[in-house]
Structure 1
Amino acid sequence: MDRSSPDLAQARHRMVDTQVRPVQVSDPRIIKAMREVPRERFVPADRAAIAYADIGVPLAASRVLMEPRIIARLLQSAVPLGGERALVVAAGTGYSAVLLARLGLSVLALEQDPALAALGAALSKELAPAVRFVTGALRDGFADAAPYDLILIDGAVRTLPDALAGQLAIGGRLATVLWPQGKVGSGVLAEHSTLGLRARQQFDASTPLIPELLAAPRFSF
């Protein structure tokens, strides 16, 4: 499908009305951003037709663009505020990073796959210049620019990586899908205080695990 097709613009609005708003996503800023950001630009050209389906869209051999409703709920749970500094881990081609930038945040996008990072950097330069892409090991986070007010892990993890917890500011939040071995996955929001990181389940969710974070050090809570 031609990425400039008006059908894709219509599909974007249907996505918001049939997938995002029905799951109690009510923040008008998130709804506006998801209506405006062309999700089809962030997937391979031969998958543009399924960019707005309620599925994760494959980006590379082992990585996907998360389902729209899960991204939307994670963003709403995190309550992103304009002017905050955010780190997106496993940013892929940058869709979630661009959404956060459209919400007024200064965003650093970390991606381990150089090809995905190059594409994400190009898209961000065009659609959200407040996003800066860096390439590096996902499990290490990006300490050079820490601390962050918000960290979004763009996919599912078995455990919360210790390195990322240490890069949050006091009062900062970490949002992701936590899917422990043998248990049900859930969207979680972890808040950092002087007592450490405290995670709370927000909603049931299952989305593909991020392979690069499967062996990440464990954080107990």
Structure 2
Amino acid sequence: MDFVAARKVMVDSQVRVNDVTNRVLHAAMGSVERERFCAPERAFSAYADVMPEITADRRLMLPRDMGKLLEGAEAKAGEKALVVVGPYAAAVLAKMGLNVTVQDSNPDVFAVTGEALADYGVETVVAPLTEVSGEGYDVIVSEAAVPARQDAWIAALAPNGRLVVVERTGPAGKAVLYVKGEEAVSRRELFDAAPDILGELAPAPAFAL
């Protein structure tokens, strides 16, 4: 399979046409080898309009959704970024010139993607998703959806830092942008999306007598 040609088609037919206008992002997505960030037996589907499997409980985000999410983050070269559950997004941000750490609670993800992440200069951390590795991030991104606002992630942002993530509790969700101001946090909805929900972040059930 000609992955180089498939990569160009992905950017042209799934990313550019969906109001993603950042040319630096186009170039990064057109360069990063997405096939290295999914299970080897799923490499053939890396550039299709699907979410290919990384491990049994992790999949890549749709190219269209990830492009729109990263554009919403307004990431800039030299910024410090954390990607939660998103090895491909981490590599794309690194290609854009950011200093990137990717965190996941499942070490099997890095067994699949670790070599590629190292090639792109991305630091990897295995830790529970409720605990953020580090602080002072300019950008935090997740390729998977969360069932509710993640205050621990927002707390790890630097002043004027941005968190982009899909919030989803049902069949569809909303990609949202949080911006951490000096005294408050703003929230803006960006677009509809439905990546897999991180079940480990679901609130504990409450029981009433």
TM interval, shorter chain, is over 0.9
Question: How far apart, in 1, do the equivalents of 2:127 and 2:170 lie?
Answer: 30
The alpha-carbon distance between structure 1 residues 14 and 157, as it changes in their structure 2 partners (threshold 3 A), is same
The partner residue of 1:74 within 45, 69, 88 is 69
The alpha-carbon distance between structure 1 residues 200 and 9, as it changes in their structure 2 partners (threshold 3 A), is same
Instruction: Tell me if structure 1 keeps the 8 A contact 2:82–2:141.
Output: yes
Q: Corresponding residue for 2:32? A: 37
- Give unmatched runs, 5+ long, in structure 1: 217-221
What is the letter of the counterpart of residue 144 of structure 2? Answer: G
Question: How far apart, in 1, do the equivalents of 2:50 and 2:117 lie?
Answer: 23
Q: Corresponding residue for 2:174? A: 186
Question: How far apart, in 1, do the equivalents of 2:181 and 2:135 lie?
Answer: 16
Q: Corresponding residue for 2:9? A: 14
The alignment status of 1:113 with 2:113, answered yes or no, reads no
What is the letter of the counterpart of residue 156 of structure 2? Answer: Q
* CA drift at 1:165: 1.2
Instruction: Tell me if structure 2 keeps the 8 A contact 1:111–1:138.
Output: yes
Q: Corresponding residue for 1:168? A: 157
* CA drift at 1:183: 7.4
What is the letter of the counterpart of residue 132 of structure 1? Answer: E
* CA drift at 1:77: 0.5
The partner residue of 1:98 within 86, 91, 110 is 91
Q: Secondary structure at the match of 2:77?
A: coil
Which TM-score applies when normalising by structure 2? 0.92
Q: Corresponding residue for 1:85? A: 80
Which TM-score applies when normalising by structure 1? 0.87
Instruction: Tell me if structure 2 keeps the 8 A contact 1:86–1:151.
Output: yes
The partner residue of 2:43 within 40, 48, 54 is 48
Q: Corresponding residue for 1:58? A: 53
Instruction: Tell me if structure 1 keeps the 8 A contact 2:173–2:192.
Output: yes
Dislocated runs of 4+, deviation >3 Å? none
Instruction: Tell me if structure 1 keeps the 8 A contact 2:36–2:43.
Output: yes
* CA drift at 1:155: 1.0
Aligned residues: 204
Q: Secondary structure at the match of 2:139?
A: strand
What is the letter of the counterpart of residue 136 of structure 2? Answer: P
The alignment status of 1:141 with 2:135, answered yes or no, reads no
The alpha-carbon distance between structure 1 residues 12 and 165, as it changes in their structure 2 partners (threshold 3 A), is same
The partner residue of 1:123 within 107, 112, 116 is 116
Q: Secondary structure at the match of 2:65?
A: helix
Q: Corresponding residue for 1:219? A: none
Residue-by-residue CA offset, 1:130-170 (whole Å, 9 max, x unaligned): x110110011111xx21111110221111121111111111
What is the letter of the counterpart of residue 103 of structure 1? Answer: M
Instruction: Tell me if structure 1 keeps the 8 A contact 2:171–2:194.
Output: no
Instruction: Tell me if structure 1 keeps the 8 A contact 2:143–2:195.
Output: no
